[in-house]
Amino acid sequence: MFRLVALLFLCSAESLCVPEGLGGGTRAIGLAGAFVAIGGSEWCTTSNPAGLSSLDGWQAAAFLCPGQFGMKELRTTSIAMAIPFGTSGFGVVGRQFGFDLYRETSVSVGVGKTFVGGVSVGGTLNATRIAIERYGSVVTSSANCGALIDVADGVHLGFEWENVAAARIGSTGEALPQTQSFGFCFELSRTSRLCLESEKDIRFPFELKLGYEQEFLDVVTARFGLANNPQKMAVGIDVRVSQITFSYAGYTHPQLGWSHQIELSCTLSR
């Protein structure tokens, strides 16, 4: 009974925003979501499109959460691709969440560009289809914008505004989630980073996030993160073999337990 109640709550309270930030890559999850000030990833399309301007090369990834909190009904799959163009970058992310009775399918297309002074800006357009068994389906759209600033050597500031125009769901008028994220990434060394972030959903209190990652021998990267509202502890690891990377991330909810995610990605250098 508890699992059923949790399932219904998550599908209603977190709908139109894949629960707990799922579908945005294992790196972000392993850092407990403290990802807004990190650029150069194919997942920047949905976390902060300004980061698409600093891609190292063509990138592609496939992500799977087989069942959030062990519930197969909360399955999430995502694919992402990003391509650099000089001081600009283009990215696409496709995501699907849910099961036969309730399903969300979304496509996000983003672009980012770097200007003089280490300032990058970007924008993302999202289209989401929500389908509920015996109730039909509806398609809604929204837009995100973001910025990245190199404030000092090894210090980056990031900002993202999700659902800028306060879009709503078709004729129902239900509001889509609208959040603002602000954070810093400190490059402590060539192989270690500390990330701090604050996120505000207009419906909920501030969420504070902290993440740390450490690379070992250019082959393995380990991550750890903490967040509140709700309290969350996250871990993650990457293993790279040539241009292929296998990643795992997991996080725990104080009442619902652990969720596990895996990702396979590939980078083709410029």
pLDDT in tens, 13-22: 444 445 455 6
- Please tell me the pTM assigned to this model: 0.89
Q: Which CATH number fits domain 2-269: 2.40.160.60, 3.40.50.720, 3.20.20.70, 2.40.128.110?
A: 2.40.160.60
Which of 11-15, 144-148, 200-204, 215-219 is the least confident region? 11-15
Report how far residue 51's alpha carbon sits from residue 54's, in angstroms, rounded to the nearest whole number: 6
Cβ-based neighbours of 9, under 8 Å, separated by 6 or more: none
Count of CB atoms within 10 A of residue 76's CB? 23
Report how far residue 228's alpha carbon sits from residue 156's, in angstroms, rounded to the nearest whole number: 23
Residue 206 confidence (pLDDT) above 80:
yes
Map out the domains of the chain as residue ranges.
2-269
pLDDT in tens, 54-88: 998 999 999 999 988 888 889 999 999 999 998 99
Nearest Cα residue to 184 out of 210, 222, 215, 223: 210
pLDDT in tens, 124-140: 999 999 999 888 889 99
